[in-house]
Amino acid sequence: MTLTATQIQITPTKAPLGAVVTGIDASVAAQPEAILQLKQAWRDYHVLIFKNQQLTDDQLLAFANYFGDILQQPAYIRKRETEPYLPPLVLTLANAAAEESSVNLAPNYRELLPHIDHDWLPAPSSGSFLYGVELPENGPDTYWVNLIQAYEELDDATKEQIAGLQVRHFSSFSKLYKDEYSGPIYAAGRPAEPGERLATHPLVRTHPDTGKKVLFLNAAGEVDIVDYDPVEGAKLIERLREHIKQPHYVYQHDWSKGDLLYWDNQATAHYRPEFDANATRILKRVSIRGSRPF
Ligand SMILES: [Fe+2]
């Protein structure tokens, strides 16, 4: 069965980003008009929310492929291991209470701070899909931050101050989790450690499709500003991180089993609070290859 574009309904949320899409079954081939409508809605609303989906890994990959090549994350050495680990194209994100064999990424129930997926790659993912397989009754919700609006609402002096600045982003996975890491969050010119990845991006990036300016900054992990006074740089990053955490930039998603979200990593950051370590929470993630930020 295929669907025609006329059956699609796109309803923006009341938040500054996000739209609910109905009339799409992501497990089957879609009409060209439908895909074009989804691409436009994704540019307009930054997070698309598909309800009641039922997808195998292959179907998830096939649907994601409409929007670009699937990102293969590079191999890396995981904590307490010696052999490099090559992440699969469909990552299972699960906490320790979920079945051990399904865990592909560091299981964690602790607060996950606002971050942009793959900002530590020279060409970060353009977007990510997250599919809810098993969710606890009482959350946690996931929150997406509109980084275009966050840029627009900076005062003119700050916009001038940050124009042209380059930021180094480190792949310090453990530093994404609050309470797990208490070391510095400003790298202050330090080199990458063995096995650690590092990419340099403009602090204000231009969205490759819409040309809009984006405050391209995590509120987690270690960063620093290239050729900038370390004390002033740390202060500036801290101030900008507080800025993007403001609740009026946020769409808050209350998960149901079968939800599929597709968001723009070139325009948003995301986070979630700590949750019950004994609850089982399983999601699948696929990311789309992106281009070098400019
Ligand atoms: Fe993420």
Q: Where are the domains of the chain?
A: 5-288
What are the pLDDT tens digits along the chain (294 aa)?
A: 455 556 899 999 999 999 999 999 999 999 999 999 999 999 999 999 999 999 999 999 999 999 999 999 988 877 677 888 899 999 998 876 665 544 444 457 888 889 999 999 999 999 999 999 999 999 899 999 999 999 999 999 999 999 999 999 998 666 777 766 667 789 999 999 887 889 999 999 999 999 999 999 998 889 999 999 999 999 999 999 999 999 999 999 999 999 999 999 999 999 999 998 888 899 999 999 999 999
**CA atoms of 54 and 260, how far apart (whole Å):** 9
41 close to 12: Cβ distance less than 8 angstroms? no
Chain center to CA of 244: 14
Sign, CA torsion 56/27/260/36: positive
Q: Other CB atoms closer than 10 Å to residue 64's CB: what's the count?
A: 26
Residue 116 CA, ligand 1 centroid: distance in Å: 6
Residue 47 CA, ligand 1 centroid: distance in Å: 13
Residue 131 CA, ligand 1 centroid: distance in Å: 13
- For residue 271, the model assigns a pLDDT of 95
- For residue 108, the model assigns a pLDDT of 75
CATH number of 5-288: 3.60.130.10
- For residue 220, the model assigns a pLDDT of 84
- For residue 141, the model assigns a pLDDT of 97
Q: Phi first, then psi: what are they for 32, rounded to 5°?
A: -55, -40
202 close to 215: Cβ distance less than 8 angstroms? no
H helices of 51-185, where? 57-64, 147-152, 156-162
Residue 252 CA, ligand 1 centroid: distance in Å: 15
User: Which long-range contacts does 244-247 make (Cβ < 8 Å, 24+ apart)?
Assistant: 244/114, 244/145, 244/147, 244/150, 244/215, 244/217, 244/219, 244/269, 245/114, 245/145, 245/219, 246/150
- For residue 173, the model assigns a pLDDT of 64
Q: Other CB atoms closer than 10 Å to residue 181's CB: what's the count?
A: 17
Q: pLDDT of 101-136, one tens digit each?
A: 444 444 578 888 899 999 999 999 999 999 999 999
